[in-house]
Structure 1
Amino acid sequence: MIGERTLLVNPPLVGGIAFTRQGRCQEREEVLGTTKPPLTLALLASLLRERGHAVRLADLTATRQEIDDLIRALDAEGFLPTLILFPSTTPTLAADVAAMACLKARYDAPLFCFGPHASTTPVASMERAAAVDGMFVGEPEDGAVALAALGSLDELGSIASLTYRRGGDIIPHRAHGSFGGFLTAPMPAWDLLDLTRYRLPLVGRPYLIVETSRGCPYTCDFCVAPLHQGYKFRERSATALVDEMERVVREHGVKFFYLWGDTVTLNVKSFSAICEELIARRLDVRWFGNARADNLQDPAFVDRLKRSGCWMLALGIETESDQTRKDMMKRLESLKIRKALQNMRASGIKSFGFFIFGYPGETPAALERTTSYAIELDPDFANFYPAVPYPGTELYAKAKRDGLLVSEDWTRMEYSYYVMEGNGLNEQVVMEAINRAKRRFFLRPGYIARHAGDLAKLATSKWGVAWHIGSRMLLGAKVVDAVK
């Protein structure tokens, strides 16, 4: 079998910078104060072990190791991989492939990739990644399991979700991958990782991801989530989810969880069942996740979230303008945003608001209005991002069509840069507006007084991250390019 000895690798830092490569997320550590645990790699490890494959899992970003360190460890153990799998993203693809090519050369093992970028632009990515033998489009689990069971690379055509090389040609995928076993998936193989490496800012405690759902029925034009996992919403049962959390507490001693889904609270009825299960079992856990404001209109539901251990919810607010949200295909009204924040405050759940700067059609004045709106809403935490036209999204198509895109450099398609220009906006204008927004939001005397404890915890638990954020916000420090 190709996957007799499978090596799963989260690639190393890129130019000294840590990136998350998990699901749709492809941001620097400084954006959220953490790099997320590699859930997909851990799940793949569990699925492959169930089928008798020998598996090794290395998170080189978390351990701050290089490829040479991994090679020495594998050689010392005598583990010679016959298959190598790794996740990648739009901004890290070039660096990730360069690093992983060293493993391929060392062990003469085929190399395959998955992730949001592979899902949106597989052929173009393969053209730029000569060392990669194939890329999974969509969810990689079923395809990776099938790949590992093949007798030879001559059988790659049997995997419909794979874009792969045959001779000098790139053969496109025939179908979008969807994990058929998601609802009954085994617990990820967290035992293969050093879990002390994954710590939450503010609390400094280890945390893990538990996946609640996949797919997003919404059509926000800037988001890669439905391009990677589809639009069909699929959710696991309350019993399965809480069983997994209970097992993590028992076996690993972890009590903080990221309930992972693009909108975990989408189905109020089924998520209420999860809450009731958590309350009944008295696990003494804390959790956070992503939500939409229009799912948080019922005070009783929000209170139930709190009683089940909800610590914080992140909301994509994006802009002060209802019209701009409509242009983004984000169907969300201002009144519902205000009501959601009101309900969260009443229940004692921390709020984290996300705001996008520089969406096509906005002006410099619009960015200032969004900053004022964020201050008026006053979530517990906020982050301000430039609009990023990720390849494959409708925003990318719009930027190309309207002549707004000024760079096709994938390494700059992340939250540290702005790659569009028009209507008085360019990279300098937008990034300066973002730093100004952070100063106006976080340096308010009232905010500092209310959140002095949280700010102190961030500084002590994630000093390096806090310094990066503070130096850019206060001193205008230059972005460090993530280029090796």
Structure 2
Amino acid sequence: MRVLFLNPPFHPRFSREQRSPAVTKSGTLYYPKWLATAAGVAIKNGHEVDLVDAPAAEYSVQTVLDRIAAKNIEAVVCDTSTPSIINDVHVIEQLVAARPNLHVLMVGRHVSSLPRETLAMSNSLQAVAIREYEYTVRDWLEAKACGADLSDVDGLVWRRSATGEVVHNKQREAIHNLDELPFVSEVYKRFLHTPDYFYGHSLWPLVVFDTSRGCPYHCSFCVYPQTFSGHTMRYRSVSNVADEFEFVAREMPEVKTVMLEDDTFIVSKPRTLELANELIRRGNKLPFDANCRADIGSDVEFLSTVHKAGARLFCVGFESGDVEVIKGMHKNNDDRRDSKYHDEAHRFVRRCQDAGIMVHGCFMVGNLNETPASMEKTLNFAKKLRPDTAQFFPIMVYPGTVAYQEAKKREYIQIEDWNAWLTKDGLHNSVVTLPNITHEQLVSFCDRARRSFYLAPSYLAYKLKQSLKDRRELQRNLKGFITLSKYLLRGSQHKKTDVTAKQGEVAA
């Protein structure tokens, strides 16, 4: 079939695939990694594929419609997210209105968590895929191509056109042999413009791919393991990962770094060491960044080997400076570790720095036992850790997570409009109101914490020294600071947000 994989129009540079979808203050824009991987699988199975990332290219719905007409597209696989779901449904309605015979499948974490509720939003919606969807899309396309019944497509929730009955098919097993999947970087090269994508903590341009799926930890707020990839670790083979590094270096020479978007890169230290040694053996010259935990207990010798392989920076979820908040979010599988968590975080940052690896710190406020005092502890914690860069954000609870269920149970979420997950400009806007902290106060604190961290004289001096020492870091620092500076001055402007605005108008 002729199929379009669509990251639909919304706010320009709306980062739909990141863990908390929004327009980011740093200018960060994620690749549509899952969508691109599914597109690669469809190509492998003989379909005529197109891929459009509308927020990156700043395409309107009409531009997408024109492309569908020009390529005579028969099917659309549309990505979604919780903050954009009303907009995304409106986009699909416009596509179907213009081309009534279009087959449409919606994918993503929101529809994976609320499939029936999503289908109930519009008669234009035909089907949604649950959790990892590459093979669900493959089988759905095959069924549509030959006119087969959809009942045998595992991982699908769909509506019978004749009766309107919603059918929930058998759950699809997670993909165990990740080496079967195509290199997502090959799909990026074919369809996307790499300079469009930017991570505030990474060298630019970059590409993004995984070396594993799943996470053994059960943090209450973390959306991907709970709604998508699960808690069972699955790994690509070391040779397969190293092959993709070589592909990027050879075929995408403009790329300056690779971001490994594993939920937790160093889960197995023996496997990480094996990968590092293979990259060293092959003479890898591409720096890489990766998501990591602070309590993995790595020594400087281990980290130095990983650095020699190319590790440049770890993105670490430190979350909170208060032990009670850490306990409340189930950060560790063993509560006995919580009391040592902050000491381990300090040791990890220092060891990374000793090994030549930078750290990007992620800090969150608004968990269920948060207090004004604990938020101040978090800001002080961030300053004492002294990561290379930091982000402060209010908790964003998403359907399918324990954090969302707990907040609903305690009636801490008093807004039912999915649009309210963003400000009018598409920035993060928490909907959690705690007994002693409003959601406006959470957003305001993050604005203040950001200013306090980035405008500290000692931090500015550090960044100046870093920029003078390394031209690549100078480029990154300038690009990130230019985007961030306007938010340091004006904040998120959450008080002016109209949570009842029709987000579909943005796409139109």
TM-score, structure 1 normalization: 0.92
Paired letter, 1:409: D
SS at match of 1:295: coil
Counterparts of 1:33-48 in structure 2, within 5 Å, are 33-48=27-42
Matched, 1:447 2:443: no
- Could you say which residue in structure 2 is the equivalent of 1:418? 430
- Equivalent residue number for residue 98 of structure 2: 106
Compute the displacement of 1:138 (Å): 0.6
Which AA in structure 2 matches 1:19? F
Q: How does 1:227-306 map to 2 (within 5 A)?
A: 227-253=227-253, 254-306=255-307
Q: Residues 456 and 249 from structure 1, CA distance in 2 versus in 1: closer, same or farther, beyond 3 angstroms?
A: closer
**How far off is 1:178 after superposition?**
2.0
> CA-atom RMSD, angstroms?
2.4
> TM-score scaled to structure 2, two decimals?
0.88
Amino acid at match of 2:354: A
Q: Distance in 2 between matches of 1:163 and 1:388?
A: 26
* 1:141 pairs with 2:153: no
Q: Relative to structure 1, is the Cα distance of residues 114 and 181 closer, same or farther in structure 2, using a 3 angstrom cutoff?
A: farther
Conserved 8 A contact 2:324-2:369: no
Matches within 5 A, 1:374-385: 374-385=382-393
Cα 1:82–1:475 change in 2 (3 A) is closer
Q: What is the CA–CA distance in structure 2 between the aligned matches of 1:140 and 1:348, rounded to whole Å?
A: 38
Partner residue, 1:356: 364
Partner AA of 1:406 in structure 2:
Q
What is the distance in 1 between the residues matched to 2:81 and 2:38? 18
Aligned to 1:10: 7
Distance 2:123 2:489 in 1: 38
Per the alignment, residue 20 of structure 1 pairs with 15
Q: What is the aligned partner in structure 2 of residue 123 from structure 1?
A: 116
**How many residues in Structure 1 have an aligned counterpart in Structure 2?**
476
Give 2:484's match in structure 1, choosing from 466, 473, 476.
466
Residue 149 of structure 2 aligns to a residue whose secondary structure is helix
Q: 1:376, CA displacement in angstroms?
A: 1.4
Is contact 2:207-2:259 (8 Å) kept?
yes
Counterpart residue identity of residue 248, structure 2: V
Taking only the aligned residue pairs, the percentage that are identical comes to 26
Matching residue of 1:213: 212
Please tell me whether residue 162 in structure 1 is matched to residue 163 in structure 2.
no
Q: Matches of residues 290-369 of structure 1 in structure 2 within 5 Å?
A: 290-331=291-332, 333-369=341-377
Distance 1:179 1:103, change over 3 A: farther
C-alpha separation in 2, matches of 1:419 and 1:212? 33
Q: Is this contact kept in 2: 1:165–1:171, CA < 8 A? A: yes
Deviations 1:183-239 (A, max 9, x none): 332222221222232244467622111211111111111111122111111011111
CA 1:31 to 1:221, structure 2 compared with 1: closer, same or farther past 3 Å? farther
* Structure 1 residue 31: Cα displacement: 4.7
CA–CA distance in 2 between the matches of 1:462 and 1:378?
Answer: 18
> RCO greater where, 1 or 2, for CA within 8 Å and sep 6 or more?
2
For 1:123 and 1:472, the matched residues in 2 are separated by 40
Report if aligned partners of 2:360, 2:390 keep a CA contact under 8 Å in 1.
yes
Structure 1 residue 45, shift from structure 2 partner: 2.0
Tell me, what secondary structure is at the counterpart of 1:375? helix
- Counterpart secondary structure, 2:120: helix
Distance 1:115 1:267 in 2: 28
Q: What letter matches 1:175 in structure 2? A: Q
Quote how far apart the aligned CAs of 1:257 are: 0.7
Contact 2:208/2:260 (<8 A) preserved = yes
**1:73 and 1:124, CA in 2 relative to 1: closer, same or farther beyond 3 A?**
closer
